[in-house]
Structure 1
Amino acid sequence: MAVFLENDYLVATIKEHGAELASLRSKETGLEYIWAGDAKYWGRQAPVLFPIVGRLKDDQYQVAGKTYHLGQHGFARDRDFAIREQTATKVVLELKADEASKELYPFDFCLQLSYELTASGLVVGYQVDNPSQEPIYFGIGGHPAFKTPLTPKESFSDYELTFSADYRLPKIPLTNGLTDIDSARLGAPTATVSRELFKDDALIYDLEQKPTKVSLTSKTSGHGVSLSVTDAKFMGIWSTYPKEGQFVCLEPWWGLADTTDSNGDFTQKYAINRLDKAASFNHQYEITVF
């Protein structure tokens, strides 16, 4: 099942399975901004990453002396969400802890995703509530894949990535899918999109929780998208290599893959979020299309 949102400017489709954004289309230009998904390259479109972002070392972690196994990016993207609120331009979807989730992740939680159309794009909100008496720990993030190129007359390499920051952001490499903090270096604020750009996996930038906008823009048509955050910890940028998937993902993250020297203790995981009893985590990002 899917939810359809519409205002005078845009139409969006959100799937209840995974609470995944499946379409964002301009009514003025007819441009579709979200990758359609193709298993030959990458079958997803905009999965939510929860309760981890990236990989765990050996795909496992420990809580209170017990070992749990969890695949890359967690399980929320593969679960059905319930609709909790819906209007013509906004929807709120919810996922709660249950017996199946506790086999993978022992904490109680209530996760809500909200999508709300604006005149120029879409605001995506994350809310995590802790209904238990003990602290919970988690990572969360977005993974929206934007169609690149947007029109048949353009090519993948016609696009450019630009950060709004007037300073060079720390760029963190991955080694075998794990975070290599010791090898972090300052990254350039702009880059031309190419396959080679992603040959070493995702580009990951430490945003230092400062307001940041990253834009993906066609140098030919001027069309594109930007993704803005006010306090995200990191931004991932990814596409397939060497496969030629026609998309680029702009990914705001409040969490990160395990470090190469991780000891497996989930409560000590690098960049983990801790939420005390009865507390709530509320963050968002905004997609603007042009």
Structure 2
Amino acid sequence: MAVKIENEKLFVTINEHGAELASLINKSNGINYLWSGDSKYWGRKSPVLFPIEGALKDGKMFVDGKEYHMGQHGFARDMDFEVKKLTKESVCFELKSNTETLEKYPYEFIFRLVYELKEETLVVRYEVENPSDSEMFFGLGAHPAFSVPLGEAAYDDYYLEITPEKTRKVLPLKGGLVDNINTIDGESRLEISHDVFAKDAIIYDLGEEPTKFSLKNTKNNYGVEVFTPNSKFAGIWSSYPAKGQFVCIEPWWSLADTVYTDGNFKEKFATNKLNGKESFDAYFEITVF
């Protein structure tokens, strides 16, 4: 079932399954800025990545010596969320741990995802709550895919501007795992082409600095801005060699396992920790024009 929210500028639908953004329409031009989800290329549109982002090495992890198995990006994207609050311009979804999740991930949690409209901007908020008295560890990430091209433009007419303008570390991927040792320098402008994703996602180390990603083209004024105030990283990705007509701009508060991990989940690179009864809050913004 899909939930609808709107204001004078935007019309948005979100599926209860996975609390996944399904459409993002600018009322002024009638354009849906979100990828269609064509399974020939990539069958999702904007999945939430929880309680891990990316892959576990060999698909497994260890917590206090016990082995657990979880697929790429975790399980939240494939579960039904409950609508806790719905207004004309916002909606709050909630997912709680249960016997099924505890078999894959040994922590109790309450995970909330809030969508809220403000003018031409969609604000996406996350809250991870630890209801237990014990510590918990988790990963979190966003994965929105934006339709490219829009209007009279070609895929290769697009570029990504990153502000503030500076050189940032880029973390390579090897077989879906992060190489956090052999980083390279990445510039603040990325020319978009299908070939640029031949080695998987481009991962920028943001260092929790407020950062804006602007996806634009040289032929018209249609574009998207994604702002993140404090994510640790951001992934830029599209399907390859299948030439999907989309670009993902993904704020991440954690990462896939590194090539060098021993699988100890509590010592996972770039993980997040909550003590008993603590909570974690994060958000990012999508603005269309």
TM class by shorter chain equals over 0.9
Do residues 254 (structure 1) and 256 (structure 2) align? no
Do residues 235 (structure 1) and 234 (structure 2) align? yes
C-alpha distance in structure 2 between counterparts of 1:132 and 1:100, whole Å: 17
Partner SS for 1:209: coil
Does the CA contact (< 8 Å) of 1:163 and 1:215 recur in 2? yes
C-alpha distance in structure 2 between counterparts of 1:181 and 1:26, whole Å: 38
Does the CA contact (< 8 Å) of 1:215 and 1:227 recur in 2? yes
C-alpha distance in structure 2 between counterparts of 1:166 and 1:238, whole Å: 20
Shift of 1:222: 1.8
Superposed, which structure 2 residues align to 1:210-225 within 5 Å? 210-225=209-224
Match of 1:89 in 2: 89
Partner SS for 2:181: helix
Match of 2:286 in 1: 287
Match of 1:38 in 2: 38
Does the CA contact (< 8 Å) of 1:32 and 1:150 recur in 2? no
Superposed, which structure 2 residues align to 1:130-149 within 5 Å? 130-149=130-149
Partner SS for 1:102: helix
Letter in 2 for 1:43: G
C-alpha distance in structure 1 between counterparts of 2:236 and 2:69, whole Å: 26
Do residues 74 (structure 1) and 84 (structure 2) align? no
C-alpha distance in structure 1 between counterparts of 2:3 and 2:154, whole Å: 31
CA offsets, 1:58-113, max 9 Å, x none? Answer: 01000111100111100000000000011000000000000010111010000000
Q: TM-score scaled by structure 2?
A: 0.99
List 4+ stretches of structure 1 deviating above 4 A: none
Gaps of 5+ in 2: none
Shift of 1:188: 1.1
Shift of 1:191: 1.4
C-alpha distance in structure 1 between counterparts of 2:112 and 2:150, whole Å: 30
Alpha-carbon RMSD across the aligned residues, in angstroms, is: 0.6
C-alpha distance in structure 2 between counterparts of 1:30 and 1:166, whole Å: 32
C-alpha distance in structure 1 between counterparts of 2:136 and 2:272, whole Å: 8
C-alpha distance in structure 1 between counterparts of 2:167 and 2:221, whole Å: 24
Match of 1:275 in 2: 274
C-alpha distance in structure 2 between counterparts of 1:150 and 1:10, whole Å: 17
Does the CA contact (< 8 Å) of 1:162 and 1:215 recur in 2? yes
Does the CA contact (< 8 Å) of 1:139 and 1:254 recur in 2? yes
Shift of 1:166: 2.3
Letter in 1 for 2:90: K
Match of 1:62 in 2: 62
C-alpha distance in structure 2 between counterparts of 1:166 and 1:35, whole Å: 27
Match of 2:170 in 1: 171
Gaps of 5+ in 1: none
Letter in 1 for 2:277: A
- How many corresponding residue pairs? 289
Do residues 19 (structure 1) and 49 (structure 2) align? no
Does the CA contact (< 8 Å) of 1:4 and 1:12 recur in 2? yes
Letter in 2 for 1:251: E
Do residues 264 (structure 1) and 276 (structure 2) align? no
C-alpha distance in structure 1 between counterparts of 2:30 and 2:140, whole Å: 32
Shift of 1:131: 0.2
Does the CA contact (< 8 Å) of 1:168 and 1:189 recur in 2? yes
Do residues 200 (structure 1) and 199 (structure 2) align? yes
C-alpha distance in structure 2 between counterparts of 1:139 and 1:48, whole Å: 11
Does the CA contact (< 8 Å) of 1:170 and 1:186 recur in 2? yes
CA offsets, 1:124-159, max 9 Å, x none? Answer: 0000000001011000010000000122x3211111
Shift of 1:219: 1.4
Letter in 2 for 1:63: V
Partner SS for 2:61: strand
C-alpha distance in structure 2 between counterparts of 1:219 and 1:23, whole Å: 25
C-alpha distance in structure 2 between counterparts of 1:24 and 1:158, whole Å: 22
Larger CA deviation: 214-223 vs 75-84:
214-223
Shift of 1:226: 0.7
